[in-house]
Amino acid sequence: MTTKIGKLAFWLVAIPAMALSWTGSARAQVEIEYWQYTFAQRVQAIDELIKRFEAANPGIKVKHTHIPYDDFRVKIAAAIPAGQGPDVVQLFYGWLQDYLKAGLLQPLPASEFSVVEIEREYFPIVQQMKVDGKYYALPTAVRSLALFWNKALFKEAGLNPDRPPATLDELVDYAKKLTKRNANGDLVQAGLTIDMGGQDHHWLREVLIRQFGGAPYSADKKTVTYNSSAGVNATQWYIDLAAKQKVGQIGFLTDGVTAFRSGKAGMTIDGSFRLGALDSQKGLDYGVAELPAHNGIKSNFASYWVNGITTKATGSKRDAAVKFLQFITTPEAMELWMNTVGELPARKSVAEKDANKNHAKYGPFIRGLTYSYATDFVNESAQRKVLIDMVDTVVLKTVPTKDAVAQAAAEEQKLLDAFYKK
Amino acid sequence: MIRRLQDLTIGQKRAIWAWGFLALPVAFYVSIRFYPTVEAFRASFTNWNIVGRMEFIGLANYARLVQDPSFWKVIGNTFAYLGLGVPISMLLSFVIAFFLDRVRVGHGLLRALYFIPHLTTAVAMAWVWRWFYQPPPVGAFNVWLTGLGFGQMPFLRSTTQALPAVLAPAIWAGIGFQIVIFLAGLKAIPRTYYEAAAIDGAGAWRVLFEVTLPLLRPTIVFLVVTSSIAYLRIFDYVYAMTNGQGGPIDATKPLVLKIFETAFTHFEMGYAATQTVILFAILLAISLVQLKLLRSR
């Protein structure tokens, strides 16, 4: 009886294994794995790129695995040290340090990925992927922030629907005209969404603080520097949008995206990844503009996902992985990615083609990239929470802005210290 | 092998049968319940951060926890959920069940209406309540309040009102279940006790306190223990109503949400395991104390 079961178990394992190896050897000499998180358009874009790559490289087969976002990091962390999982992997730029510490990535070979060429070709934010003179990962696409405005509401408020505000002063002025309250003074339409839980914390951190003459972090990124008059003034200006200018309300219609999508907010600040959702909203006629300038300063926040080669890939698999990474960072791949996913090309030459740079919706994001900053997050969600709590402390606990900013800076410094001393 | 089976006594055969059937659930529980539990205890003494190796660091996580002000904040919140949630839901569900037990017309319909919230997805309900809590003219509660001449309330946008505001839909959903259990408990009390009490001339209050409540003791024990565990583990309502933040400024964050954050947004699995061990200890202690207090006499 035991031998029977043993035999059965053997065949149960052996048959699929043989089938797999047979199809593998029949169709390609080398098979590499590519992993990213599940997101319909990203999956579609990579599937199409793999099809083209395999057609051009008959000896290589790429297996595409996508994993729900919530499990993504856990699965990669478990798989690679065990010698399984991806040869080429997609990761958020802010995770690089963690991945390097855990020994999950190998440097990109300088012969195929020249440092000089990368720095000439890519937007400067990508330089964060360089550690000790070596690049560890490259993006296909990048994203930035822009101002979205509702053209119908502009018309209704007597504003020119084709002329968005260019400065912060204009922003406040327009927002006032776009704000509507009922007889009781209750807000029924916001001029501008005020939502730190959305993209506003990036706007405050990398844009407003700089426009008020400060900087969020020191040049070596290890010290929080917004506990300054610039930091306090920027924060006060942001809080005054609701408190003094009364052009919006924190939590209005639960969040900024909902308010803008439902046509109950004149303007909002959001990322390029929102274009798809807004385009699918029937009856919403909106425009996209570069973030308003202040004191002659323009700034933006950019972020991106990168592709790296894992330490699992060796020998012929590594060579195949290098080829695949080269392929998905070609100008052709970047254009495909933009048109499928809605994210912006990471190579300046592609992004700044006239057709892209002057595109009605991608254009403002691309122009914003040239003067953007990618925050060196050590723990994005914790650092985001520090700023959300900073604003809430002033608004809900009537703590003076100066004290709340100082408290937030100290709190965030602790996070940086904990990370860099490791 | 067959011959040897025949040599066994009936008792031994029965045991083999029983264990044969139990083997699957036992293997299942050992592999997906007990083993991870033991692993969690082990992880609580390490600085495992998901990527990389587990490194034994002794009691460092526990020491850090005691000094972490946000830990004491969430412990306070967790006990606030427990301290408000259990008595309010027990009182409400008992009063409703007590009177529902006497209603003959539309009894089934009413019972179903009270039970429906319990069947509804927590996240969907939390979102509906989120809209109820909006400022006027959107939020229903504030529209009613201002309509009745009261001032409007900030609800979720207040560090003091947010916790009860998040708790309300949880209570509302929980009492559906509690009412049904109370109704079953009330039905199980023999009529003869009430008849005897009536013959002795006992008043309504006396009957309530000396007949109904003492005889409901097993029901009450069961509901107090299960609802305490539920409120100590509250998560879904808070997550859905505060964008996963437990805000404003941690005002609504329970221990389970902090564990979730520590594990899956900060990736400090070792530290999260430590908090899980503490939660386990709290749940165990409270359940044991309640069982002891309510069962005795």
Question: Nearest-CA distance from A159 to chain B in Å?
Answer: 26
Residue A287 phi/psi, 5-degree rounding, is -120, 165
Q: What is the pLDDT of residues A199-227, one digit of tens each?
A: 999 999 999 999 999 999 998 889 999 99
Chain B residues touching A254 at Cβ < 8 A: 130-131, 134
Measured between alpha carbons, how far is A369 from A251 in angstroms, rounded to an integer?
29
The letter for the amino acid at A261 is: R
Same-domain check for residues B203 and B92: yes
Site of tokens 């990535």: A105
A199, A254, A377, A414, best to mutate vs chain B, most B CBs in 10 Å: A254
Same-domain check for residues B163 and B263: yes
Average pLDDT of the segment spanning A259-277: 91
CB pair distance less than 8 Å for A102 and B51: yes
Q: What is the pLDDT of residues B62-114, one digit of tens each?
A: 999 999 999 999 999 999 999 999 999 999 999 999 999 888 888 889 888 88
Comparing alpha-carbon positions, the chain B residue that sits nearest to A105 is B51
Domain contains B53: no
* Choices 3.40.190.10, 3.40.50.10210, 1.20.810.10, 3.10.100.10: CATH for A144-300+377-421: 3.40.190.10
pLDDT of residue B58: 86
Comparing alpha-carbon positions, the chain B residue that sits nearest to A182 is B137
B265/A contact by beta carbon, under 8 A: yes
Same-domain check for residues B25 and B79: no
Measured between alpha carbons, how far is A50 from A63 in angstroms, rounded to an integer?
9
Which residues 6+ apart lie within 8 Å of A413 measured at CB? A223, A224
Residue A224, token pair as written in the block: 């929080």
The letter for the amino acid at A211 is: Q
Of all helices (H) and strands (E), which one includes residue A10? helix A2-27
Domain contains B181: yes
State chain A's mean pLDDT as an integer. Answer: 89
CB pair distance less than 8 Å for B159 and A255: no
Q: Which residue has the higher pLDDT, A408 or A8?
A: A408
Nearest in space to B267 (alpha carbons), one of A83, A42, A76: A76
Average pLDDT of the segment spanning B197-224: 89
CB pair distance less than 8 Å for A197 and B130: no
pLDDT of residue B128: 92
Domain contains B125: yes
Same-domain check for residues B38 and B141: no
CATH number at B155 reads 1.10.3720.10
Name the band, by pLDDT with cuts 50, 70 and 90, for residue A7. low
Percent of chain A with pLDDT over 70: 93
Residue A328, token pair as written in the block: 């998905």
Residue-number span of the structural domain to which B21 is assigned: 2-43
Same-domain check for residues B38 and B70: no
Measured between alpha carbons, how far is B128 from B124 in angstroms, rounded to an integer?
6
For the A29-143+303-373 domain, the top CATH level (class) is: alpha beta
Measured between alpha carbons, how far is A145 from A291 in angstroms, rounded to an integer?
7
Name the band, by pLDDT with cuts 50, 70 and 90, for residue A24. very low
B39, B51, B268, B269, best to mutate vs chain A, most A CBs in 10 Å: B51
Q: What is the pLDDT of residues B163-205, one digit of tens each?
A: 999 999 999 999 999 999 999 999 999 989 989 988 988 888 9
**Cβ count near A113 (within 10 Å):** 19
Confidence check: pLDDT of A61 > 70: yes
Contact, A164 vs A151, CB < 8 A?
Answer: no
pTM of this structure:
0.84
pLDDT of residue A274: 86
Same-domain check for residues B199 and B280: yes
Same-domain check for residues B108 and B228: yes
Domain boundaries, chain A: 29-143+303-373, 144-300+377-421
Please count the structural domains in chain B. Answer: 2
Own/partner long-range contacts of B135-143 (Cβ < 8 Å, ≥24 apart): B135/A186, B135/A187, B135/A249, B135/A251, B135/A252, B136/A184, B136/A186, B137/A182, B137/A184, B137/A186, B137/A188, B138/A253
Chain A residues interacting with chain B (CB cutoff of 8 angstroms): 1, 70, 73-74, 76-77, 81, 98-99, 101-104, 182, 184, 186-188, 197, 249-255, 379, 381-382, 385, 388-389, 392-393, 396-397
Same-domain check for residues B33 and B66: no
Chain B residues touching A255 at Cβ < 8 A: 243
Same-domain check for residues B234 and B288: yes
State chain B's mean pLDDT as an integer. Answer: 89
Question: Would you call B167 helix, strand, or coil by DSSP?
Answer: helix
Domain contains B50: no
Q: What is the pLDDT of residues A281-340, one digit of tens each?
A: 888 999 999 999 999 999 999 999 999 999 999 999 999 999 999 999 999 999 999 888
Residue B18, token pair as written in the block: 């029983």
ipTM: 0.84
CA atoms within 13 A on the CB side of A231: 22
Q: Is the dihedral of CA A118, A123, A126, A128 positive or negative?
A: positive
Domain contains B213: yes
Nearest in space to A144 (alpha carbons), one of A302, A341, A348, A270: A302
Domain contains B35: yes
Same-domain check for residues B12 and B98: no
Question: Would you call B131 helix, strand, or coil by DSSP?
Answer: helix
Of all helices (H) and strands (E), which one includes residue A417? helix A401-421
Nearest in space to A289 (alpha carbons), one of A206, A361, A210: A361
Same-domain check for residues B131 and B263: yes
Domain contains B229: yes
Q: How far is CA A358 from CA A34, A352, A365, A367, in A?
A: 33, 9, 10, 9
Confidence check: pLDDT of A31 > 50: yes
Measured between alpha carbons, how far is A53 from A220 in angstroms, rounded to an integer?
39
Average pLDDT of the segment spanning A187-196: 94
Same-domain check for residues B120 and B34: no
